[in-house]
Structures are given as C-alpha cells and as structure tokens.
Structure 1
C-alpha cells in the first residue's frame, strides 16, 4: 500500500515538472524573441544557408 502511494506521488511530481518545463521554455523563448535585444540580434544576424545532407559539407564541395 505504501509502495503504490509513493509511486503515485513520484509520477505526479514527474508530470508536474514536465508541464512546468514546457511552460518555462515557452515563456523564455517568447520573452527573448520579443525583447529589444532579441529583435536587434535577429535583424543583425545573417541567414545561414541550409544544407540538404551531410554530403553538402564534404571538403570537395566547400568553396
């Protein structure tokens, strides 16, 4: 009986912390993207070309 109570408590805490992690992550990302520094950094940064595969970074193809 005690084991099931402890197990339920651990599972409840894990689920709560998992939800809290996503809430904090979303808040921090949103806060950084909407801040003055975040917007200025985004404007100044150069777009990075996407590579289609690992073969695109081959030494023979880099120019």
Structure 2
C-alpha cells in the first residue's frame, strides 16, 4: 500500500514536470507570449519554478557579486 502511494506521487511529479514544460514552451512560442516578453522585458532568469530550492535562488541573486 505504501509502495502504491509512493509510485502515485512520483507519477504526479513526473506529470507535473511534463505539463509545466509543455505549457511554458507553448506560451514562449506563441505570438502573444513573445509580445508580452518583449513588452515587459521578462527573461528566463526571472521565471522561477516552484521546484527551485532557496539555495539556487540565493546563488542566482548573488551570481554577479564577489564578496571575497
């Protein structure tokens, strides 16, 4: 029973990643998506995924600074 729940959750995560990639590519490839990105100046670095860890976001923010 626990194995079934784990397989179900892994399947949901897998489907989430596939759907997220498909929607993002569909929006980025559309004329409206391209227009909105140009108008508002949104780059790929500005788009955050809910699966990003706080450490990844911290590294992204401090990528240009050198405090050593």
TM-score, normalised with respect to structure 1: 0.61
User: Structure 1 segments of 4 or more deviating over 6 A?
Assistant: none
Residue correspondences, number: 44
The TM-score normalised by the length of structure 2 is 0.57
Bigger Rg, structure 1 or 2: 1
Q: Deviations 1:2-50 (Å, cap 9, x if unpaired)?
A: xxxx111101100100100000011111111100100011111246xxx
**Counterpart position of 1:37:** 32
Q: Distance in 2 between matches of 1:7 and 1:16?
A: 14
In the alignment, what sits opposite 1:24? 19
Structure 2: gaps of 5 or more residues = 43-60, 63-68
